Structure 1
Amino acid sequence: MLDVLVVGGGYVGLSAAVAIMQAAPHLAIEVIEAAPEEAWKKDPRASAIIAAATKMLDVFGLWDRIEPDAQPITRMIVTDSKTSDPVRPVFLTFDGAVEDGRPFAHMIPNVSMVAALRDACAERGITIHHGLRATGFRDTGPSAELTLSDGRVMASRLVVACDGVRSKLRDLAGIKTVTWQYGQSGIVTTVEHERPHEGVAEEHFLPAGPFAILPLKGNRSSLVWTERTEDADRLVASDDLLFEAELERRFGHKLGTIRATPDRRAFPLGLTLARAFIAPRLALAGDAAHGIHPISGQGLNLGFKDVAALAETVVEADRLGLDIGSVNVLERYQIWRRFDTFRMGVTTDVLNRLFSNDVTPIRVLRDFGLGVVDRIPGLKNYFIREAAGSSGQNRPRLLGGQSI
C-alpha cells in the first residue's frame, strides 16, 4: 500500500509529490498521469510563476536548473482602451521587484518546468505511471482504492487529485462544483518581434476581454488573448495572414515587426470552484479544486500554494504519527486554502465582468480607479506583494523559501 498517490502529472501534481517526498523521504509516493510519456515535450506554452513559487522551487533544488530558461518580468503596464484607439493611455504601472530584489514573477517555458520536476521525481525514486486514468474511487477505511483504466487497483492512505478542471477523480468522490462559463476563450500563442521587450509585461483591457503580452527569453512574447468564444474559434482556424492582421491591431507596433508562431490554441474560459477540497482519503489541488479566469495570471500559482499548504499539512501530521488521509488531518488543508481560493475566484470574476465591456460610465469609473491606485505607492506595493505571494501571516513555509 502506498502512502500518497498523486493523480495528474502536470506542474501541480509533480510539485505535490516532490514537496512531500522532500520533507518525508520514508513515504511511498507514486504519480498517475493520463498522457503518454513523451507528450509533455510537445507543449509550446509558457507560464507566469510568482516569486513565492520560485522560492519553493529553490527549496527543491530546482530553481538553478530552471532559471536559465526563465525571463524575469521587470515591469507591468496596464492600459484600458478600444481596439480602434490610436493611443492607449497607461493607467497603472508596477515595478517588477519585491523582497530581496527578486522579480515578482518569471515567464517559464512549460517544458523547462516539467523537465525539472520530472528529474526531481526520478532522483527521489517517485514512479510516474503514464497513459492511465482513474475510473473508480473507494474509501475502504484504512486506505483508498483507486481503479485505473487498465483494470489495476492501487491502494493508498492518501490520494491527491491534480487531474485538472474537469477532474474525473473529483466526480468519482462525489464532490460538487460551482461552475459557469464566460462565453470567452483564451487564445494562447507565441509572438516573435523585431525589438527587445526589456522584460516588460503588458495587459490591455479591451472590450472583448484582456489581451496580455508576457515576455519570454529573446525577442519573443507569450500572448493570452481573450475573445468571445465564436470569435476566438474563428481566429484560431483562420490563415496566418488574417490571424497576424488581427493580432497586429491589438499588439501594436512598439516592438517592430511581429510574427506569430504556428502553434495557437483557444481554451474556453469559466469559473469552477469545488464545494469541498477534501473527502475521506482525498485532497483536491490545482485546477481540480479551482479553475479561474486568467485575467490576474494567478491560476497556476494558486495550485502551487495548494501544494505548499498540503505538503506542510501531510508532513507535520506524519511526524506526529497521525493518519495523513483522515478528514481530521485534511481539514487543516481545506481551511488553509479554501478562503484564499474563493476570494481569488470572486476577484477574477468581478474584474472580468468590470473590464470586458465598453459601457462608457463603467469605463470611466474603472479608469479612475486604476489612476488612483497608480498614485498611491503603498497601495501599489500591497498589490504587487499580493501578486508575488509575498504577503500573508499564515503563508506556508515553502512559499517563504523555508523547508518543512
Structure 2
Amino acid sequence: MGHYDIVIIGAGLAGSLAAIALAREGHRVALVGPRPAIADGRTTALMDQSIEYLKTLDLWDEVAPLTAPLVAIHIIDGTKRLLRAPPVNFRASEVGIEAFGYNIPNAPFLEILERREAALPTLTRLTAAATTFDFADTEVRIGLGDGSTITADLVVGADGRRSPVREAADIGVHTWSYPQAAVVLNFSHELPHQNVSTEFHTESGPFTQVPLPGNRSSLVWVQTPRDAEETLKLPVDLLSRTIEYRMESILGKVAVEGAPQSFPLSGLTARRFGRGRVMLVGEAAHAFPPIGAQGLNLSLRDVMTVVELVGPPSGSRLPADTGDRFDGRRRMDIVSRTASVDLLNRSLLSGFLPVQAMRAIGLQLLSSAGPLRGLLMREGIHPGSALQSLKESLREKISRKSA
C-alpha cells in the first residue's frame, strides 16, 4: 500500500494538468486511470489566461507548435428567422493582446502531458481504474481494479460526468439535456483562415470553425441528434462540399480529414464542488455545450485553485476541510459560466419571437458599441476583469470630478 499527498482520479486533460501542477510543487501525487481506448479527435481553444498558466508549468514551448492563434472571432447569424442579428467581430488587438488564445488538438496535447508526467519524480502514474473509496477522518483509502490499495490526504475527482469520486463522496448533481449533438472533425481548406474563427449561429446551434496550423481548421457543428447521425453517414467528398456550402465558401474548397465524431450535448453542475478531503475538477464538477471556448479554460481555473489552496508541501497532513474551502472558492465562477453558456445556447434554440429579438438587439449592441464589446472580451479572457474595469473607470470619473 502506498500513501500519497494527493491522488487524482481521471487521466484526461484536466486530471493530467492537475497532476503535473501539484507534482511540480513537490507533492507526492498519484494519477489514476486507464489510458483512453480511442484517440480524442476534438480540439480545445485555450484562452490567454490558460496559456499563461501552461507557461508557468513549462509546457507551452512544446505545445505551441501544435497550435494556431485566435486573433479574431467572427459571429454570423446564419438563421433564416425574421429577426436576424448583424455580424459581430471580436479582435484581440482591441483589448491590447496578440491573440485571445490558441487552438490545440486534444490527442497530441495529451501525449505531451503523458511524457511530462513520466519525467516528474514525485508523480506516480497508475493505469488501473479506481473502484472503491473509503473516506476516513485522517485519509482516503482507494481500492484499484488490479486488487491493490492506496491512501491519500486528498482526492481530486477529474473522472468525468459519471464521476465515481463524486458519487462516493455523496455529492449530488443537477443535470439537463439539449435536443442537440455536436459533430467534430478537422478539415483542410483552399484559402488561409488568417487565424480567424468564424461562428455561424443556426437554428440548431453554432457551426464553428476554429483555426489550426496551416490551411487547416477544426469544426464543431451542433445539430439535432438525427441530423448529426445522418452527417456521420455522408461520404467524405459530400461532407466536404456540405461544409463548404455551410461556410459560404469563405475558405474556398474544403477537404475533411479522417472520420468525424459525434457527442450528445447535455449539461451538469455538481451540487458541491468539494467536500472534506475531496475536490471535483473538470466535467466531474461542470459540463455544458462547446460554446465560447469555456470548458477546459474553466477546468484549468479549477486546477489553479486546487494548487493555490493546497500550497507547497509542509511536512504535515493536508487539511481535512480543503474540499469545503475549494467549494466556496469555485462556486461563483462555475455557476456564472454555466448559466451564461446555457442561456446563449437556449437563445439560439428558442422559436419565441421576443427571445430572438433580445438576442438580435444584444448582438447589435456588441457590433456597434466598442467599449461594451471590449468589456465582454476582457471578461471572456480574464473572468472578473470586466467588473474590475468598471470599478476603476468609475473611480477615475469620481476623482476627476472631485479635482
TM-score, normalised via structure 2 length: 0.89
Name the counterpart of 1:10. 12
Q: How does 1:68-83 map to 2 (within 5 A)?
A: 68-82=65-79
> 8 Å contact 1:214–1:223 — kept in the other structure?
yes
135-144 or 90-99, which deviates more? 90-99
> 8 Å contact 2:378–2:386 — kept in the other structure?
no
SS of the residue corresponding to residue 209 of structure 2 reads: strand
Provide the rounded CA distance (Å) in 2 between the counterparts of 1:84 and 1:91.
Answer: 15
Q: Deviations over 1:217-269 (max 9, x none)?
A: 01111111101112212211333344334323322211111111222111111
Q: How does 1:28-67 map to 2 (within 5 A)?
A: 28-35=28-35, 39=37, 42-67=39-64
> Given residue 76 of structure 1, which amino acid in structure 2 is its aligned partner?
I
> Given residue 326 of structure 1, which amino acid in structure 2 is its aligned partner?
A
Name the counterpart of 2:111. 115
> Given residue 28 of structure 1, which amino acid in structure 2 is its aligned partner?
R
Name the counterpart of 1:192. 188
Name the counterpart of 2:329. 336
- Structure number with bigger Rg: 2
Q: Does 1:248 align with 2:241?
A: no
SS of the residue corresponding to residue 266 of structure 2 reads: strand
> Given residue 373 of structure 2, which amino acid in structure 1 is its aligned partner?
K
> 8 Å contact 2:376–2:386 — kept in the other structure?
no
SS of the residue corresponding to residue 262 of structure 1 reads: strand
SS of the residue corresponding to residue 101 of structure 1 reads: coil
Provide the rounded CA distance (Å) in 2 between the counterparts of 1:335 and 1:119.
Answer: 34
> 8 Å contact 2:70–2:101 — kept in the other structure?
yes
> 8 Å contact 2:31–2:125 — kept in the other structure?
yes
Q: How does 1:4-403 map to 2 (within 5 A)?
A: 4-23=6-25, 25=26, 27-35=27-35, 39=37, 42-82=39-79, 90-97=86-93, 101-125=97-121, 126-130=123-127, 132-315=128-311, 318-319=313-314, 323-327=317-321, 329-389=322-382, 391-392=384-385
Provide the rounded CA distance (Å) in 1 between the counterparts of 2:357 and 2:286.
Answer: 32
Instruction: Give the C-alpha shift of residue 150 in structure 1.
Output: 1.8
> 8 Å contact 2:133–2:140 — kept in the other structure?
yes
Instruction: Give the C-alpha shift of residue 392 in structure 1.
Output: 4.1
Using a 3 Å threshold, how does the CA distance of structure 1 residues 97 and 322 change in structure 2: closer, same or farther? Answer: farther
365-374 or 69-78, which deviates more? 365-374
Instruction: Give the C-alpha shift of residue 22 in structure 1.
Output: 2.0
Q: Deviations over 1:276-313 (max 9, x none)?
A: 11123211001110001212220111100000011100
> Given residue 31 of structure 1, which amino acid in structure 2 is its aligned partner?
L
Instruction: Give the C-alpha shift of residue 272 in structure 1.
Output: 0.2
Provide the rounded CA distance (Å) in 1 between the counterparts of 2:98 and 2:55.
Answer: 13
> Given residue 44 of structure 2, which amino acid in structure 1 is its aligned partner?
S
45-54 or 354-363, which deviates more? 354-363
8-17 or 373-382, which deviates more? 373-382
> 8 Å contact 1:373–1:380 — kept in the other structure?
yes
SS of the residue corresponding to residue 4 of structure 1 reads: strand
Identity %: 30
Instruction: Give the C-alpha shift of residue 83 in structure 1.
Output: 6.7
Instruction: Give the C-alpha shift of residue 64 in structure 1.
Output: 1.3
> 8 Å contact 1:83–1:249 — kept in the other structure?
no
> 8 Å contact 2:66–2:213 — kept in the other structure?
yes
Using a 3 Å threshold, how does the CA distance of structure 1 residues 246 and 15 change in structure 2: closer, same or farther? Answer: same
> 8 Å contact 1:209–1:355 — kept in the other structure?
yes
Instruction: Give the C-alpha shift of residue 201 in structure 1.
Output: 0.4
> 8 Å contact 1:98–1:385 — kept in the other structure?
no
Provide the rounded CA distance (Å) in 2 between the counterparts of 1:112 and 1:98.
Answer: 32
SS of the residue corresponding to residue 151 of structure 2 reads: strand
> Given residue 19 of structure 1, which amino acid in structure 2 is its aligned partner?
A
104-113 or 94-103, which deviates more? 94-103
Instruction: Give the C-alpha shift of residue 106 in structure 1.
Output: 0.5
Provide the rounded CA distance (Å) in 1 between the counterparts of 2:116 and 2:96.
Answer: 26
> 8 Å contact 1:104–1:385 — kept in the other structure?
no
Provide the rounded CA distance (Å) in 1 between the counterparts of 2:378 and 2:148.
Answer: 46
Name the counterpart of 1:401. none
Equivalenced residue count is: 384
> Given residue 14 of structure 2, which amino acid in structure 1 is its aligned partner?
V
Instruction: Give the C-alpha shift of residue 35 in structure 1.
Output: 2.3
